[in-house]
Amino acid sequence: MPYLFTSESVSEGHPDKVADQISDALLDHFLAFDPESKVACETLVTTGQVVLAGEVKSDTYLDVQNIAREVINKIGYTKGEYQFSGDSCGVISLIHEQSQDINQGVDRGAKEEQGAGDQGMMFGYATSETENYMPLALDISHKILHTLAELRREGKEISYLRPDAKAQVTLEYSDANEPQRIDTIVVSTQHDAFDADDEKMLAKIKSDIISILIPRVKAQLPVETQKLFDDQIKYHINPTGKFVIGGPHGDTGLTGRKIIVDTYGGKGAHGGGAFSGKDPSKVDRSAAYAARHAAKNLVAAGVADEILVQVSYAIGVVEPTSIYVDTYGTSKVGLSDGAIARKVAELFDMRPFAIEERLKLRNPIYLETAAYGHMGKQPRTITKVFESPYNGRIEKEVELFTWEKLDKVAEIKSAFSI
């Protein structure tokens, strides 16, 4: 019997994502000027205020207030009427030095013996239902909001948009777990106050979303996915009514509250650890990236159509405590999931320092991860510029989204005789 599955995304202007982006911008600056920095930085945003807290061990010093303001302005919170603006908000820093009790379990004489920064389990997931091996409902949700942000910045076809927004997509699947059609699309977007009454305002927003935004999103998708859009889709556009008060003024934001948006939209599993603001010694982040890298390459190599990889750690211990694989019955290699997991352990070195080295994680690459998902994006190399009143100006060429590279496919095919 057909079934429905739903995923959501949130925009870069959502309060929790504002907090994530500030935390990752701070992390990038620490790593740019001192690649060995240990960082765990949390951010809270609310009406007219930003609070920075956390633990840092670094040889550099930053103007954290200015970094936070730059992020806020770049997102689009630049007007006093939003009750939250990069130029006028207060920024309070409560960042202090990292506990030596924690650090002693991570830093060792030989870098290869670096222990995990915490205990816990991390998951990576991949599916063959999209070109980027991501769940389709989440992929479409991300594209809806990324495209909405493009329209907001252009300010032409839709001129009244403000930064805060959310989207949700519900797909209908067949018994064979294949997407059949889009059942429902939900979009809630912050907007300027209208001169017209609420009913006319909401009708205008709904018309623009369906006639301008959705065709742009559809055009970005493969032909087969475009066929899932039909005239029976149920649209809920700003279903609670007007949405003028939003962003950190409408809802307090915190780092790390959108972990399902950041990963797989409810598909697969999640160990509970957030990503943003954490340097790669924290396996919450680095091992989740490594598990995604493994899962994506396994699916791309043809081991299975859908794979979940779990890695777990004990704080201060070098080797992972377990590696688990679930192929959801889609394995194509005639091996049990346990046997596949043993091969994964041989193919992918999951020690914390090995992950950092393989995926080049001690680089300032994290701000780009902090909105529209950490997984499923195209790997690319860019040059980033960092300026500090204490450290001067540096340019660094960095490789983004290394965990999305399909660089282990040939090795996997050989190991599994595919």
Residue ranges of the binding site: 14, 16, 42, 55, 98, 164-166, 242-243, 251, 257-258, 274, 278, 282
- H, E, C per residue of the chain: CCEEEEEEEECCCCHHHHHHHHHHHHHHHHHHHCCCCEEEEEEEEECCEEEEEEEEECCCCCCHHHHHHHHHHHHCCCCHHHCCCCCCCEEEEEEEECCHHHHCCCCCCCHHHCCECCCEEEEEEEECCCCCCCCHHHHHHHHHHHHHHHHHHHCCCCCCEEEEEEEEEEEEECCCCCEEEEEEEEEEEEECCCCCCHHHHHHHHHHHHHHHHHHHHHHCCCHHHHCCCCCCCEEEECCCCCCCCCHHHHCCEECCCCHHHHCCCCCCCCCCCCCCCECCCCHHHHHHHHHHHHHHHHHHHCCECEEEEEEEECECCCCCCEEEEECCCCECCCCCHHHHHHHHHHHCCCCHHHHHHHHCCCCCCCHHHCCCCCCCCCCEEEEEEEEECCCEEEEEEEEECHHHCCCCHHHHHHHHCC
Read off φ and ψ for residue 361, nearest 5 degrees.
-90, -10
| 42 CB-contact burial (10 Å; exposed 0-12 / middle 13-18 / buried 19+) | buried
Residues flagged as binding site for Mg(2+): 16
Residues flagged as binding site for K(+): 42
Residues flagged as binding site for ATP: 14, 164-166, 242-243, 251, 257-258, 274, 278
Residues flagged as binding site for L-methionine: 55, 98, 251, 282
For the record, the structure tokens of 411 come out as: 């090795």
**Residue 109: which residues within 8 A CB-CB, separation 6 or more?**
none
| 65 CB-contact burial (10 Å; exposed 0-12 / middle 13-18 / buried 19+) | middle
